[in-house]
């Protein structure tokens, strides 16, 4: 049975895609069938023929070495570098939950471990004008627990704490935290790690340094983070 884990961030540009690529790579190298899925991608460039290139999906595919086709990875791709609800207001083609889940179910039927990636932070609006849809709605519909990516630097105690508090209040399981841009020996960052664990009761499962090409967590420990639910999306 497929297992799923949703990668979210304390905000935008926290390194969710970078970390997702390392996670998928670790799973593939362990011999598992691994895939990536993201409901909506914004801020994408156009190819020579005018079609949009799913940048996050391309990065994960190249970084991880998986054979999953790009067209399986994301049903909604936008050019404008704003949240999906505003990108679709500008460009058209608003995100619909039934389309997101249809693509997700296809991935579930073909792969053992599915790494999902969110857009922005936990309160990112995915659709608004054609009916409200927020990132937590997508997470719950996919039946996933979450891994939180946070910058290791100044301000992370507040952003991690508020994100974890919101998730707890809304019944969204937080399975672990990953610190990005981590500098070993940095007293503030090491204290941030300890304080975030104390504040949330959730373990920092790995720290990612600049230029890392491997995730510092065993494949077995990584796989355990995917074990929360049965991976079946809600109807």
Q: Which residues are catalytic?
A: 38
Residue with tokens 């961030």: 9
Tokens coding 91 = 């460009």
Which H or E element spans position 197?
helix 187-200
Residue with tokens 């070993």: 184
| DSSP strand pairing (174-180 vs 145-151) | parallel
| Distance in angstroms (rounded) separating the CA atoms of residues 147 and 76 | 22
Contacts of 192 (CB under 8 A, 6+ apart): 152, 153, 156, 157, 179
Terminal Cα distance for the chain, rounded: 18
User: Inter-axis angle of helices 16-29 and 55-64, to 10 degrees?
Assistant: 30
Tokens coding 140 = 């719950």
With H, G, I as helix, E, B as strand and everything else as coil, classify residue 7: strand
Tokens coding 203 = 């373990």
């Amino acid at each position: 049975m497929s297992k799923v884990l949703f990668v979210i961030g304390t905000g935008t540009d926290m390194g969710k895609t970078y970390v997702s690529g390392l996670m998928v790579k670790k799973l593939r190298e362990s011999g598992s069938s691994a895939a990536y899925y993201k409901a909506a991608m914004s801020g994408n460039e156009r190819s020579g023929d005018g079609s949009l290139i799913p940048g996050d999906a391309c990065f994960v595919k190249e970084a991880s070495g998986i054979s999953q086709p790009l067209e399986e990875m994301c049903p909604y791709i936008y050019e404008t570098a704003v949240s999906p609800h505003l990108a679709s207001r500008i460009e058209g083609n608003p995100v619909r939950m039934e389309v997101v889940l249809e693509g997700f179910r296809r991935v579930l039927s073909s792969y053992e471990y599915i790494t999902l990636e969110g857009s922005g932070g936990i309160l990112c609006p995915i659709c608004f004008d054609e009916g409200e849809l927020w990132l937590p709605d997508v997470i719950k519909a996919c039946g996933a627990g979450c891994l939180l990516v946070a910058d290791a630097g100044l301000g992370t105690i507040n952003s991690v704490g508020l994100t974890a508090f919101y998730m707890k209040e809304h019944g969204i399981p937080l399975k672990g935290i990953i610190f990005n841009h981590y500098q070993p020996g940095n007293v503030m960052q090491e204290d941030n790690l300890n304080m975030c664990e104390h504040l949330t009761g959730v373990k920092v499962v790995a720290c990612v340094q600049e230029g890392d090409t491997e995730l510092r967590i065993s494949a077995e420990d990584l796989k355990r983070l995917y074990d929360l639910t049965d991976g079946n999306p809600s109807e």
